[in-house]
Structure 1
Amino acid sequence: MERERAAYRSARARRSLLASTGSTVVVLVVAAVLLVTSPGWPRVRDTWFSWDKAVESFPAVLDGLWLNIRLMVVCAVAIVVLGLTLAVLRTLRGAVFAPLRIFATVYVDLFRGLPLLLVLLLLGFGAPALDLTGLPTSVLFWGATSLVLSYSAYVAEVFRAGIETVHPSQRAAARALGLTYAQSLRFVVLPQAVRRVVPALMNDLVSLQKDSGLVSVLGITDAIRAAQISTAEDFNYTPYVVAGVVFVALTIPMARVADRVSRRRGQGPVGGHL
């Protein structure tokens, strides 16, 4: 009976797979036929999907993407450190820590409320003009700073949610064993909290990879800016499509890894916060 049930489930799974594949192929074929038979398709094809233009612009876009990747890695490290610090400050107890809690709360509310693009414009164009002593005037530095400030507010809330999921008895047991507050936070609370929020953190990493392209508004030659420069030569928009393809090719594997980690931890697919 068990073998019969397994054979039935296997046959049903095959039928479902064939049905879903067939329906998907039909929808794609119909959409492709409607697209290529539309009156404006020849002009769209030459303007947005020119193979020669794609080959010509690909090296510059790929070189700009390398800047996006480096920017993402550096910012991700700074975001985790700053976000975890803010989360710990918001969870400190006692009246003496009230100023720190207020500072962390105001910081999170401020940068979660400001659009990232606005932060980039304010710091990218405003901060270098101040010529602050000891700080670089490079727009790349201030673009990275904008990403760190904005994303650390979201990551801080992710960490705080993880910290608050740890039952208070864990803290009490740690203190009963003689650990100080800092030791119980370091050795008992944070390890559990971080493990529980890994899927959400990976989702933020995926979003950071995409949003690193916004630094192009400051004139930084990343993948999007390289595509814009190539487009300005003959007003052919194929380089934008190339930039979109390379971003998708980089983001999708990261998203699948995030979903896999989420499933292994018994959660659903990871959703975005933006």
Structure 2
Amino acid sequence: MDESSEASAVDRTRAPRPTRQWKPAPPRSVVGLASLAVLVAAAAVLSAVWTAGSIREALDSLSADTAWVNVGLYSVAALAMVLFVPAVKGLQTAIEARRLIRIDLAEARATTADAQEKSRLAIGYAVAFAIVLLFGLFLIANEIAVGKTFFDLGLIFETGALVASAFWVNVEIFMIAEVLVLVWGLLIAVARLAPGRAGAPIRLIATAYVDLFRGLPAIIAIYLVGFGLPLTDLPILRDMTPTMFAILALTLTYGAYVSEVYRSGIESVHWSQTAAARSLGFSHSQTLRYVVVPQAVRRIIPPLLNDFISLQKDTALVSVIGTVDAFNQAKIIASNHFNLSSVTTVAVLFVLITIPQARLVDKLIERDQKRMRAGG
């Protein structure tokens, strides 16, 4: 073989291979997904119709007036029919994407993505609708036994004002306890960070306190404080009311949790901040007060709010020491009427004051994440 033939052979081996044009398979999976969405929507409509019939039969067996119920049932059925709109559009778009794949590849891809989005939207809403229907069936089970036990509207309206007035006791407890917990938790956190060998005993006591009350259930702490301290007959403690004992017990319990939140925030501040403050002549306490703690508090607001949400819910535990709060009042009503609808009222009140704070925590966390991504 001469040199020219060898060179041509080397060139052929080094020449780039022709790239195969990518041709996606027909979007049969998308057509199947869209068909599934149509079937799910149809199942949701049939379930709505069947559930509506079951509710009507249950009310007829109780000789109840179903005039206003029929309007609601028809509305639910009409809402279920709306699920067909994205499902059918998704199927039409999937068929169109299957046709376009041989004509315009880019347009076929965009149409396929649109079909997937519409089909998944229909399936997602149909599943959510099915969950709501299951809850409705749960309420009407056994001749509306569940609905009458937990959602007796007549009893709720009759006793709602009484339960709401007692709920102000819970509001008073957690508002005072939150202020005390903020101060007490910071003191414990600072004690756990006491510097040097001289601060070792203080750190040991603070650590023991945190370990004790973080491991102690809140209801036991309330019980011990609410019933134990009055038995001591000490001059100041014997004059305290059950509400004051409840505030003290919750402060001791949640002070341990909040102190750990403070400590994590303080330790997250970069050591150079402390070094710079000390180089300027600040003492340890001045460094904490003017440099470290202000930065730490800014970072721990979301977890602090989470602890306060838990504190608000745990105010219902003060009923064990005889405080007439909303839960205790609801239990009295429930024992008199053999119905738990008043307790449902308490649950609704707690949820109403908790959900806005939970959304606020989400917003604060989202804002902190945006600031961190921006380098702020």
Separation in 1, partners of 2:270, 2:337: 62
Contact 1:128–1:139 (CA<8 Å) still a contact in 2?
no
Deviations, residues 247-274 of structure 1 (Å, cap 9, x unaligned) = 111111111111111111118xxxxxxx
For residues 1-274 of structure 1, what are the structure 2 equivalents within 5 Å?
Answer: 15=118, 19-33=123-137, 35-36=138-139, 38=141, 40-135=142-237, 136-266=239-369
Contact 2:258–2:307 (CA<8 Å) still a contact in 1?
yes
Deviations, residues 46-84 of structure 1 (Å, cap 9, x unaligned) = 222211111111111111111111111100000010000
Deviations, residues 139-196 of structure 1 (Å, cap 9, x unaligned) = 1111111000000000000100111111111111111122222111111110111111
Structure with the greater relative contact order (CA < 8 A, sep ≥ 6): 1 or 2? Answer: 1
Contact 2:223–2:321 (CA<8 Å) still a contact in 1?
yes
Contact 2:258–2:304 (CA<8 Å) still a contact in 1?
yes
The residue type paired with residue 346 of structure 2 is A
**Residues 41 and 243 (structure 1 numbering): CA distance in 2 closer, same or farther, change over 3 Å?**
farther
Contact 1:143–1:215 (CA<8 Å) still a contact in 2?
yes
Deviation for aligned residue 1:13 = 11
Separation in 2, partners of 1:41, 1:153: 48
Separation in 1, partners of 2:295, 2:197: 26
Deviations, residues 3-61 of structure 1 (Å, cap 9, x unaligned) = x9xx99xx79974665533331222123423x2453x2433322222111111111111
What's 1:272 paired with? none
**Residues 84 and 36 (structure 1 numbering): CA distance in 2 closer, same or farther, change over 3 Å?**
closer
Determine what percentage of the aligned residue pairs are the same residue. 40
Contact 1:128–1:138 (CA<8 Å) still a contact in 2?
no
Contact 1:87–1:156 (CA<8 Å) still a contact in 2?
yes
Deviations, residues 114-142 of structure 1 (Å, cap 9, x unaligned) = 11000111111111121112233311111
Contact 1:127–1:137 (CA<8 Å) still a contact in 2?
no
Equivalent pairs counted in the alignment come to 259
RMSD: 2.2
Separation in 1, partners of 2:116, 2:344: 36
The residue type paired with residue 339 of structure 2 is N
Instruction: State the secondary structure of the residue aligned to 1:88.
Output: helix
Deviations, residues 212-249 of structure 1 (Å, cap 9, x unaligned) = 11101111111101101111212111111111111111
Structure 2: which 5+ runs fail to align? 1-106, 371-376
Which range moved further: 152-161 or 128-137?
A: 128-137
Separation in 1, partners of 2:291, 2:213: 30
**Residues 103 and 253 (structure 1 numbering): CA distance in 2 closer, same or farther, change over 3 Å?**
same
Separation in 2, partners of 1:12, 1:143: 58
